[in-house]
Chain A
Amino acid sequence: MTTIPQGAGSVRDRSTTETSTDDAKPSLPPPVVWADERLGVAKGMGLFKKVFPDHWSFLLGEIAMYSMIICLITGTFLTFWFVPSMAHVVYDGSYVPLKGVGMSEAYASTLDISFDIKGGLLIRQLHHWAALLFIVGIALHVARVFFTGAFRKPRELNWVIGTVLSLLAIIEGFAGYSLPDDLLSGTGIRAMNGFMSSAPVIGTYLTFFVFGGEFPGESIIPRLYIAHVLLLPALLVGLFAVHIFLVFWHKHTQYPGPGRTNNNVVGFPLLPVYTAKAGGFFFIVFGLTALISATVTINAVWAYGPYDPAQVTAGSQPDFYMWFSDGALRLLPGFMEFELWGFTFSPQIFLGSLVLLPLVWIILGAYPFIEQWVTGDKREHHLLDRPRNAPVRTAIGTAGISMYLVLALATINDIIAIKLHLSINDITVALRVLFFLAPVVAFMVTKRLCLSLQRADRELVLHGTESGRIQRTADGRFYEVHEDLSEYDRWPLVQHEPMRPLSVTEESETDEYGVDRPRGIAYKARRALSEFYFKDRVEPVTPAEVAAAHHHGEAEALPGGHAEALEESHAEEHASLRSDDRH
């Protein structure tokens, strides 16, 4: 290679500095100098050299971030026309079927945004789709963080912040969904009123304070509005800022791989690569949201009509992120309600709503601390786990997801019944059973699956891959040559630490007579949990095991032939690498 092409920035840099014409020292552009004199910004430019590792699963959090930004932008647009008022008006806009119908100003203004403001429908659709994508993004992002163990020390705090963010996100979504005051969202508010009043002791006070009196009143939409456009966005944006700051502060985790250790972070610098990739991805997310909004109608409020407490549509569901709660309300049987000392207890309502939501998030928030207590591992972790290498954690995750899915399915029990011509009662009963059964099955299957994947990894490291070449031994037998993994391919499969239960790693303390000291409940619980987590395990291959396997293999097949085959294959690999380079 004699001439260095123009595109090859990285190659050129080093080799052409002598001949380069513009090798004068770069100086700061005047606006930056201006800012530096006042704020010292030059000192902070190192930020642009910050390194971020690359992996598709790291984009999930970005999807959430970008959809939140899209919600902020489009929501601001909506506030210019949306009127958060329950005052009665008679509709006189251009949507003919509703002309002359009495409705709230909130509903009428939503119709105006949809039909009388140019581009208004597009923005409404963008806002709603982005809201859904926001929550999907969060859910997938949480799953990524959970299954890879990214929540481990030192990131427990950011995990807690993340769980709060996700709770706020669905509340924000519910509040927004309720604003248009159409028949569907009004029914949602009615249900909210109902489950609030089921709260023991304070229920009626709660609803009267939140609704400003009896249902429906005239306060709930204005109040949800201020929560939706001011209080919750302020909290969301504030917490998100802390969340992303902590990502910078801790530096991003990375997947294990050659050269990627717990003491470094390998990837691309913020400037220019990450700026281009992440910035570009924002536009891709925004563009795809626009594409969906252009073609698929969501929340066609005009079709539902204005809210009327005496009417309802069949098959009414909330947005998908509320399905699990609505599903729980459908599954909890009515016989749970009882009266005691002249008061009514309705656990079949408050368990599925007032208790379920906080409970799910408390368990989620507490998980890192529970796992840390069980493993006793207080070190910092910056290398992610491959999910298979933490079988019990992964299985707990899928068990939780299966419970969520059963509840979500319950929300469409009526639709399933109609589509499949089944009795809705049978489906409901089946789902009640499934709620307890599914997590057990999911747990066992996932754990087994993880263990067999780990075994497959071992197999690969010990015996290499099939080369497709058949060789004949001296005594006329045929066998296929196995190629060892390269050092680089092998490393991700063997780098993880074996996790063992405390009963193996911690000496049990004995008194002076050699008898086990009596222990408290907490100690026993911790021991039991540790067994639960790590009793069944597959350990990573050690060099000694590989050596033993080789020895074994050579003894069985033909002596020497294997090694030759290996060299041959390496030579081929190199050749192919070189030919790659040429194109």
Chain B
Amino acid sequence: MTDDQLAVPEPHSTPASTGDADTIDRFQDPGLPAHRPRRADVDEKAAKRAEHQVSFMFTLSILASLAFAICYFAVDPNLRGRLIIIGPMNLYHLILGLTMAASLLFIGLGAVHWAKTLMPDTEVAEERHLQASDQAARDEAAGILSQGFRDSQLDRRPVLLALTGGALALFAIPVALPTIFGLGPLPGDALETTVWKRGMRLMIDPSGTPIRPEHLTQGSVIHVMPEGFVGDTHGEDAPSALEIMEVKATASVLLVKLNPGDIQSQKQLDWGVDGIVAYSKICTHVGCPVALYERQTHHLLCPCHQSTFDMTDDCKVIFGPAKRPLPQLPIMVENGYLVAADGFAEPVGPSYWERG
């Protein structure tokens, strides 16, 4: 029994069969059944009918292609209408799609019908051979390889062999290194801080208006951005669109006014203003904005993977894949408006290795 054999049911080649007794007692392959002619093979009328059917489908395809071209130019691209089941939709899109579908489908259906009715349906058998080459071919191949190896003298000059390997292994460095390290800056401590700093006003997102504590109602949630990055950001030293995106991704904050009596954590009370507390909106799981607040339960839910944070308990995780609480932004009142009392005390957003 060699490694390379075709698995033939009858002969005793099975490693998993027990040998002679059952190789003898097997059924024999009866061979291909006789061909049974189709209708179109024996009935000229049927053959003619099949031909007509195929011609009909190809004609439909041609007509549909032409209809597509005509509609492309003739129909108003903004034609809208209402369809049963589907509802309101752009009819131009629908017409183009349907004519295109018909143009394609009828070619396909016609070709397959043609093959099934008129082309030969007698099955033919083609032989297979082992993939492996015979011994003579293998010997010859071995000869060629070893000849090449010896001609190159690598067999006698091991230093050359080692250095060829080394040179080939390292030549990628000059190509790959600049590509990889050119891709981006090193992270440094960029992830540790946000733009928030003491005295920066909390602004409503997206209007960009500052917030007076007395205007907040119990249980309401306000989406907040740091001053200068929201609303009308046009002036001289206005941030670029890119900077604004980065600030949104790190410094956006949720502001909630709670009943101070509901708050269970002293630190949470201290960092807020009369039950008004501000928390990072960036989920500590993989960074979606935590945007769903349930008034009754005071739960904050992240829509991405359902991490649930308890607003009354320093935004600790009570369910889901996030581990860390949402970081709290300390706030105070200055000139009647809410401002940050400091930046975040810890990195916001998803966990990362160096976060510690």
Contacts and interface: CB of A to CB of B under 8 A. Distances in A.
A348 B352 contact: no
A264 B128 contact: yes
Contacts of B42: 1, 5, 8, 11, 581
Contacts of B4: 378-380
Nearest to A414: B306
A331 B303 CA distance: 14
B238 interface: no
Interface string B294-316: 00000000011111100000000
Nearest to A223: B183
A207 to B, nearest CB: 8
A258 interface: yes
A138 to B, nearest CB: 21
B189 to A, nearest CB: 10
Contacts of A375: 15-16
A301 to B, nearest CB: 15
B102 to A, nearest CB: 7
Given A210-B183, A266-B124, A334-B307, A294 B96 contact: yes
A210 B184 CA distance: 7
Interface string B41-72: 11110111011000000000000000000001
B216 interface: no
Interface stretch (A22-30, A168-176, A213-221, A392-400): A213-221
Given A208-B186, A295-B97, A154 B8 contact: no
B17 A498 contact: yes
Contacts of A309: 245, 248-249, 252, 289
Contact of B323 (A264, A265, A334): A334
Given A5-B44, A214-B190, A314 B292 contact: yes
A382 B124 contact: no
Interface in A390-414: 413-414
A50 B281 contact: no
Contacts of B181: 209
A261 interface: yes
A569 interface: no
A210 B6 CA distance: 49
Interface in B169-201: 180-181, 183-187, 190-191
B209 to A, nearest CB: 16
A376 interface: yes
Interface stretch (A227-235, A275-283, A450-458, A519-527): A275-283
Contact of B16 (A283, A342, A499): A499
Nearest to B85: A295
Given A316-B303, A377-B15, A581-B37, A349 B285 contact: yes
Contact of A316 (B8, B37, B304): B304
A9 B117 CA distance: 11
Given A208-B184, A425-B319, A494 B102 contact: no
A119 B96 CA distance: 7
B214 to A, nearest CB: 25
Interface in B217-255: 223, 225, 241-242, 245-246, 248-250, 252
B112 interface: yes
- Chain B, interface size category, equals 35 or more
B187 A122 contact: no
Nearest to B190: A214
Contact of B30 (A258, A273, A425): A258
Nearest to A382: B128
Interface in A188-241: 190-191, 193-195, 197-205, 207-219
Contacts of A344: 351-356
A349 B100 contact: no
Contacts of B353: 197-204, 343-344
A215 B303 contact: no
Interface in A6-57: 6-11, 49-51
B131 A154 contact: yes
A18 B288 CA distance: 79
Contact of A491 (B27, B36, B186): B27
Contact of B321 (A121, A269, A332, A581): A332
B351 A329 contact: no
Given A212-B184, A262-B7, A504-B18, A280 B108 contact: yes
B3 interface: yes
Given A251-B126, A258-B32, A343-B353, A5 B43 contact: yes
A375 B307 CA distance: 46
B108 A284 contact: yes
B94 interface: yes
Contacts of B289: 309-312
A428 interface: yes
A67 to B, nearest CB: 13
Contacts of B321: 329-334, 348-349
Contacts of B50: 7
A500 B22 CA distance: 13
B31 A259 contact: yes
B306 A428 contact: yes
B263 interface: no
Interface string B98-134: 1011111111111110111111111111111011000
Given A376-B15, A428-B306, A218 B126 contact: no
B112 A258 contact: no
Contacts of B126: 49-51, 251, 264-266
A523 to B, nearest CB: 16
Interface in B243-273: 245-246, 248-250, 252
Contacts of A329: 285-286, 305, 321
A330 B302 CA distance: 11
B137 interface: no
B26 A543 contact: yes
Interface in A513-559: 534, 541-544
Given A265-B128, A290-B97, A309-B252, A382 B6 contact: yes
A11 B122 CA distance: 10
B80 interface: no
A200 B354 CA distance: 9
A290 B100 contact: yes
A216 B240 CA distance: 13
A450 to B, nearest CB: 17
Contacts of A342: 356
Contact of B26 (A51, A280, A542): A542
Contacts of B307: 334
A195 B356 contact: no
B241 A88 contact: yes
A500 B21 CA distance: 15
Contacts of B109: 280, 284
B336 interface: no
Contact of B115 (A267, A272, A316): A272
A173 B90 CA distance: 26
Contacts of B245: 216, 309
B7 A291 contact: no
Nearest to A191: B286
A364 B46 CA distance: 49
A204 B351 contact: no
Contact of B112 (A88, A277, A497): A277
Contact of B350 (A8, A121, A197, A496): A197
Contacts of A288: 101, 105
A294 B97 contact: yes
Contacts of B102: 287
19 contacts: A3-B44, A6-B47, A190-B249, A190-B287, A191-B287, A198-B350, A208-B187, A258-B33, A262-B8, A267-B124, A268-B123, A269-B124, A282-B108, A295-B94, A312-B303, A334-B285, A343-B356, A377-B14, A541-B27
* Shortest Cβ-Cβ A-B pairs, 10 listed: A7-B47, A294-B97, A194-B286, A280-B111, A259-B32, A287-B105, A283-B108, A5-B44, A88-B241, A287-B104
Given A203-B352, A208-B185, 9 more contacts: A118-B72, A208-B186, A216-B246, A266-B123, A268-B121, A282-B108, A290-B104, A334-B320, A337-B323
